[in-house]
Amino acid sequence: MREEIFVTRASLPPMEEYIEKIRPLWESRWLTNMGDLHQEFEERLRQYLRVDGLSLMVNGHMSLEMALSAMKLPRGGEIITTPFTFISTIHAILRNGLVPVFCDVKLSDLTMDEEKIEALVTERTAAILPVHVYGNVCGVERIQQLADKYNLPVIYDAAHAFGVTHQGRGIGSFGDVSVFSFHATKVFHSIEGGAVAFHNPDLYRTLYNLKNFGIRSEEVVAEVGANAKMNEFCAAMGLCNLDHIGEEREKRKRVAEKYQELLADCPGIRMVRGREDATRNYAYFPILIEEDFGCTRDQVYDALGRQGIHGRKYFYPLASDQACFRNKYHDVELPTARYASDRILVLPLYGELELGDVERIAGILMEQRGKGARE
């Protein structure tokens, strides 16, 4: 039996490098609470991501929650966001006492359709929260124009976009704040981890307090906070992985280019690619299985699964259709998001995936062409 192939596989540094990184902890016993490794990782990330300010967090979800909380948005305010995202984005909005308003996406790259935002702005709109889904850069220029026109903050969920640059700028430098995830399944990880990037220097203190129970000093708690601190073991993993991110990206690039070569001209397979003027991080390889393929996405997904290859229907169902949200928030027509959600398939992609396996996966996929009618 061949080894199963999952949509991703966490990269790990050589074990000795990690052990060297954590060795000093047996001496210091400073295991969490903004230790040396935390500080070092925070500063190195700030430089690597080319952002003005950065606050490390325990994970991507809490980064979103802390970012929204730090913006001090009015309770009950509406947040214009995308249904084509991981559920975390929407949970973070609701857990801050805010209300999601879903905006449709563009078929080309599945990011929020910036031309559909304005129609959703009301006097209750408190912010815009787009997602650079698959690392595809949103229409940041138009979104900023609208934000300026209506005086709205922009919070980007950049969980998929680690290391992406656009016009020479770090992706996290667009909008007011951007949130990253360093979960083990992401292109860059610290086991669990996340960060909030920002421009306003005051946010460093605000976020520091929010992630540390609102504690100001030994005897003073000045506000309500949470515990969203990254521990030293995670910071150590992040530092080690940061030393190897260049290699990981090169390896992923080879895999992605192989898929591209094998699948690009196939009728019924639509590539979901980001804008040409942004760099790519090869975090995911999403395709749409359209009618011309002669077989549905689910049939392709099942055929791969029978061979031990596990793609992901990422994102199906739409976040707005999940049981906890369905029919609760503004009913906006989302034809493109729905179309994409029914046809999306994310193929396995990670640095260690062998090109022979990529050929096998593409082969199984192509064998399904035209089979739909016969099943």
For residues 48 and 314, which CB has a smaller minimum distance to ligand PLP in the complex? 314
Smallest gap from residue 234 Cβ to ligand PLP (A): 11
86, 134, 162, 301: which one binds ligand PLP (CB under 6 A): 86
Smallest gap from residue 133 Cβ to ligand PLP (A): 7
Q: What character string, x for contact with ligand PLP (CB under 6 A) and - otherwise, covers 187-216? A: -------x----------------------
For residues 59 and 296, which CB has a smaller minimum distance to ligand PLP in the complex? 59
Q: What character string, x for contact with ligand PLP (CB under 6 A) and - otherwise, covers 123-142? A: --------x-----------
User: Contact 4/310 with Cβ under 8 angstroms?
Assistant: yes
Of the ranges 3-11, 84-92, 94-102, 305-313, which one interacts with ligand PLP (CB under 6 A)? 84-92
Contact between 160 and ligand PLP per CB under 6 A: yes
Smallest gap from residue 25 Cβ to ligand PLP (A): 23
For residues 152 and 135, give the distance between their C-alpha atoms in angstroms, rounded to a whole number. Answer: 23
Of the ranges 75-83, 86-94, 236-244, 360-368, which one interacts with ligand PLP (CB under 6 A)? 86-94
For residues 37 and 234, which CB has a smaller minimum distance to ligand PLP in the complex? 234
Smallest gap from residue 27 Cβ to ligand PLP (A): 30
User: Contact 284/185 with Cβ under 8 angstroms?
Assistant: no
Contact between 88 and ligand PLP per CB under 6 A: yes
For residues 149 and 160, give the distance between their C-alpha atoms in angstroms, rounded to a whole number. Answer: 28
Smallest gap from residue 94 Cβ to ligand PLP (A): 14
* Amino acid occupying residue 214: G
Smallest gap from residue 79 Cβ to ligand PLP (A): 14
Q: Other CB atoms closer than 10 Å to residue 86's CB: what's the count? A: 18
Sign, CA dihedral 360-361-367-369, equals negative
The rounded radius of gyration (Å) of the Cα atoms in the chain is 21
Contact between 8 and ligand PLP per CB under 6 A: no
Tokens representing 113 are 């359709």
For residues 85 and 125, which CB has a smaller minimum distance to ligand PLP in the complex? 85
For residues 134 and 259, which CB has a smaller minimum distance to ligand PLP in the complex? 134
Residues 26-65 that bind ligand PLP (CB under 6 A): 59-61
For residues 46 and 61, which CB has a smaller minimum distance to ligand PLP in the complex? 61
Smallest gap from residue 61 Cβ to ligand PLP (A): 3
For residues 17 and 254, give the distance between their C-alpha atoms in angstroms, rounded to a whole number. Answer: 25
For residues 81 and 125, which CB has a smaller minimum distance to ligand PLP in the complex? 81
159, 288, 344, 347: which one binds ligand PLP (CB under 6 A): 159
For residues 183 and 258, which CB has a smaller minimum distance to ligand PLP in the complex? 183
CA 308 to chain centre: 26
User: Contact 309/190 with Cβ under 8 angstroms?
Assistant: no
Using CB under 6 A as the criterion, which residues of the chain lie in contact with ligand PLP when the complex forms?
59-61, 85-86, 88-89, 131, 157, 159-160, 181, 183, 194
